[in-house]
Amino acid sequence: NAGVTQTPKFQVLKTGQSMTLQCAQDMNHNSMYWYRQDPGMGLRLIYYSASEGTTDKGEVPNGYNVSRLNKREFSLRLESAAPSQTSVYFCASSDGSGQGGEKLFFGSGTQLSVL
């Protein structure tokens, strides 16, 4: 059982380049999330998708776009990368039952450097 799979694991971009981070989960979860984590800091929510077909902004959405392609997949796109977007990106999923206590399952992360 793979859980949450993110690709790529590492990426180096030049300022202004674009790229898409891919995320897929095989747990039949309704909700999916993208977080970024900067050194020595907590996770900040970029976007989330409570269910297939819906997406909502989190704490730091500027400079990013997302697509909930289907129930399994949730991608994060950087249209024009900036050095401030250098970070570790985590995708996560949860059952999304709406009862509270969402238990998030995280992917292994993508380390992104923008030069």
Q: Cβ atoms within 10 A of the Cβ of 32, count? A: 29
Name which position in 21, 23, 24, 31 contacts another protein (CB under 8 A): 31
What is the per-residue binding string for another protein in 79-98, x denoting contact by CB under 8 A? -----------x---x-x-x
Nearer to another protein, 76 or 107 (CB): 107
CB 78 within 8 A of CB 18: yes
Torsion sign, CA atoms 80, 62, 48, 14: positive
Name which position in 17, 45, 52, 71 contacts another protein (CB under 8 A): 45
Nearer to another protein, 80 or 97 (CB): 97
DSSP string, 44-98: EEEEEESSTT--EE-S--TTEEEEE-SSSBEEEEESS--GGG-EEEEEEEE---S
Residue 102 makes contact with another protein by CB under 8 A: yes
Chain contacts with another protein (rule: CB under 8 A): 31, 33, 35, 40-45, 48, 50, 56, 58-59, 90, 94, 96, 98, 100-109
